[in-house]
Amino acid sequence: MCNMTSFLKLQGVLLNKRNIQRVEILPDLYRIVITPHTTTGWAAFGAGFMSSHNTRYEVRKDMHKQDYQTVSDWIKSLY
């Protein structure tokens, strides 16, 4: 059975709360940064590089009113 409370439902996307790295709280804007699922790169004989890219979602109060309220309510529930 899936526990739906572990997801944050926004317009067109479900975000797994466990993958949220941080939420940047700016005036009239939330920037949600998601932990990368994969890394890319190479390694050979002890040398190489690894790279990953964070996914960011911006929720603006003036453009995404319902989503902004959803994120606001979620943040308030944490305190």
**3-state DSSP assignment of residue 24:** strand
Q: Is residue 63 part of a domain?
A: yes
Q: Is residue 2 part of a domain?
A: no
**pLDDT tens sequence across 37-76:** 655 565 667 666 665 567 889 999 999 999 999 999 999 9
Q: What are phi and psi of 37, to 5 degrees?
A: -85, -30
Q: Is residue 20 part of a domain?
A: yes
Report pLDDT for 1: 47
**pLDDT tens sequence across 6-26:** 899 999 889 989 889 999 999
Taking a C-beta distance cutoff of 8 angstroms, is the pair 68, 52 a contact? no
> Would you state the structure tokens that stand for residue 43, as one six-digit string?
């390694």
Q: Is residue 35 part of a domain?
A: yes
Identify the residue with better confidence: 3 or 33: 33
Look at the chain and report how many structural domains it folds into.
Answer: 1
Q: Is residue 3 part of a domain?
A: no
| Plot region of 44 (φ>0 → left; ψ -120 to 50 → alpha; else → beta) | beta
Domain that holds residue 39: 8-77
Report pLDDT for 25: 96
